[in-house]
Amino acid sequence: MKKKFLDLGTHPLANAFLSKKEIKHPKREYFYKLSVGFDTKSYLVSLMRTVNPKKQYTDKYAHRASQSMTMKHSFKNIANILKKRFKPRISLEIGSNDGVFIQNFKKKKIIAVEPCANLARITKKRGFKTYAKFWTKMLAKRISKFCKKVDLIFSANTISHIPDYKETFDAIDILLSNNGVLVVEDPYVGSVLKLNSYDQFYDEHVYVFSLMAISNIIKSSGLRIFDAEEISTHGGSMRYYICKEQSKFKLTKRFNILYKKEIKYEIDKFSTYNSFSKRIKKSKKDLVNLFKNLKRKNKKIISYGATYKSTTVFNYCNIGKNFLDYVIDTTPNKQGKFTPGKHVPIISPEKGFNITVDYAFLGAWNFKKEIMSKEKNFIKRGGKFITHVPKARII
């Protein structure tokens, strides 16, 4: 049974950045109720209500995975490790974005699946076999006519976005070879609990997985998990290694260690999530007070990184033009637009990250290291960063 533990109020779609024309018609902006629940049987954490994916993954999808050096390196690294460890004859990626992972493979050795037409176009143009489609059993059957089975299916920050996980894993079972491997990366519930990063919850993150939950939900699709590793991307993720029930892979030591950790941290208890919810209410109060204090002192505050996560923070905490002058972001198709719900202008760092800025809220806190080392001059001249993870504070 799914029990609600967190109510974050009314939210716009996290990636629905608005144009100048669109903010003139605020009534047209789409809002939904964002709340999160815990399934006491499968231990799965998920949104109470999901949004129709056709509203989310359109030809205007803003996120470009290759914009970050951290993600580029991470994907190159894991692509090489997977090629060496599993020696796949043919691989497939579900949610290939702009090709940042598949570019590490030979063109004939990997297939891309990406429903956002603007992104699929990029990999198609570069010569990769690309299906501009949602991942379904029907698509898996269609691909199997082309290549029979695949030995490696990779999917980063995508499976947790698809509302029907049963369809997703059944489709994977159709296409995966007998000793094939599915590798999934997604934000990890253990990190969310530890960092109080409630901003991992937004319309696209339908699920925030744990080892326990993944193990439970893949069973009925004839799959099992045999290995896992914690990774630092996206503010704390887990990489799950999954195979067919009858496959040759044995449970690894590191999986057992991580699983025991979940038992210790009571990932399977509703009370864990109830306590988290109390911490989040306090996080909101503390962050708003921090902003109010700085504004009383006439400080100029901006936000660094127009992230989907910050859509949750700003709309939950009611942070908009009352506190922020603007948001800076390196992504060209976010610049010139306005943040969802709160309509704060987004500009390039070249235009906005100058000596007039006193404080910068880390909307992209998951890149804290990369940003801090890049912005040494800002820090040197007395500029300060603000974060809300794990607690609202000035860095």
Q: Which lies closer to ligand TYD via its Cβ, residue 260 or residue 374? A: 374
Token representation of residue 372: 């801090």
Q: Which lies closer to ligand TYD via its Cβ, residue 91 or residue 311? A: 311
- Dist CA 364 CA 309 (whole Å): 8
Residue 330 lies near ligand TYD (rule: CB under 6 A): yes
Q: Which lies closer to ligand TYD via its Cβ, residue 190 or residue 305? A: 305
- From the list 207, 323, 353, 367, which residue makes contact with ligand TYD (rule: CB under 6 A)? 367
Residue 306 lies near ligand TYD (rule: CB under 6 A): yes
Contact 241, 183 (CB under 8 A): yes
Examine residue 53 and say whether the peptide bond preceding it is cis (omega within 30 degrees of 0): no
Q: Segment contacting ligand TYD (CB under 6 A): 43-51, 112-120, 134-142, 364-372?
A: 364-372
Pattern 17-56, binding to ligand TYD, x per CB under 6 A?
----------------------------------------
Q: Segment contacting ligand TYD (CB under 6 A): 2-10, 32-40, 269-277, 306-314?
A: 306-314
How far CA 158 is from CA of 23, 185, 207, 227, 278, in Å, comes to 29, 8, 10, 19, 29
Residue 364 lies near ligand TYD (rule: CB under 6 A): yes
Give the distance, in angstroms, between the CA of residue 95 and the centroid of all CA atoms in the same chain: 12
Token representation of residue 32: 């939904």
**Distance in Å, CB of 292 to ligand TYD, minimum:** 25
Contact 115, 134 (CB under 8 A): yes
Q: Which lies closer to ligand TYD via its Cβ, residue 48 or residue 371? A: 371
Q: Which lies closer to ligand TYD via its Cβ, residue 70 or residue 277? A: 70
Q: Sheet harboring 327-328: ordered strands across?
A: 346-347, 327-328, 301-304, 359-362, 384-387, 393-394
**Distance in Å, CB of 256 to ligand TYD, minimum:** 31
- Dist CA 200 CA 389 (whole Å): 11
How far CA 225 is from CA of 71, 160, 191, 212, in Å, comes to 24, 16, 20, 10
Q: Which lies closer to ligand TYD via its Cβ, residue 64 or residue 284? A: 64
Q: Which lies closer to ligand TYD via its Cβ, residue 35 or residue 331? A: 331
Q: Is 10 exposed, middle or buried (0-12, 13-18, 19+ CB in 10 A)?
A: exposed
Q: Which lies closer to ligand TYD via its Cβ, residue 169 or residue 308? A: 308
Residue 309 lies near ligand TYD (rule: CB under 6 A): yes
For 134-168, b/e burial (b = at least 16 CB within 10 A) is bbbbebbeebeeeeeebbbbbbbbbbbbbeebebb
Q: Residue with the closest Cβ to ligand TYD? A: 305
Residue 92 lies near ligand TYD (rule: CB under 6 A): no
**Distance in Å, CB of 138 to ligand TYD, minimum:** 28
- Dist CA 241 CA 262 (whole Å): 17
Pattern 52-91, binding to ligand TYD, x per CB under 6 A?
-----------x---xx-----------------------
Q: Which lies closer to ligand TYD via its Cβ, residue 158 or residue 221? A: 158
Interface with ligand TYD: number of residues (CB under 6 A): 18
Residues 6+ apart with CB under 8 A from 266: 272
Q: Segment contacting ligand TYD (CB under 6 A): 3-11, 127-135, 209-217, 326-334?
A: 326-334
Residue ranges in contact with ligand TYD by CB under 6 A: 63, 67-68, 305-309, 329-331, 334, 364, 366-367, 370-371, 374
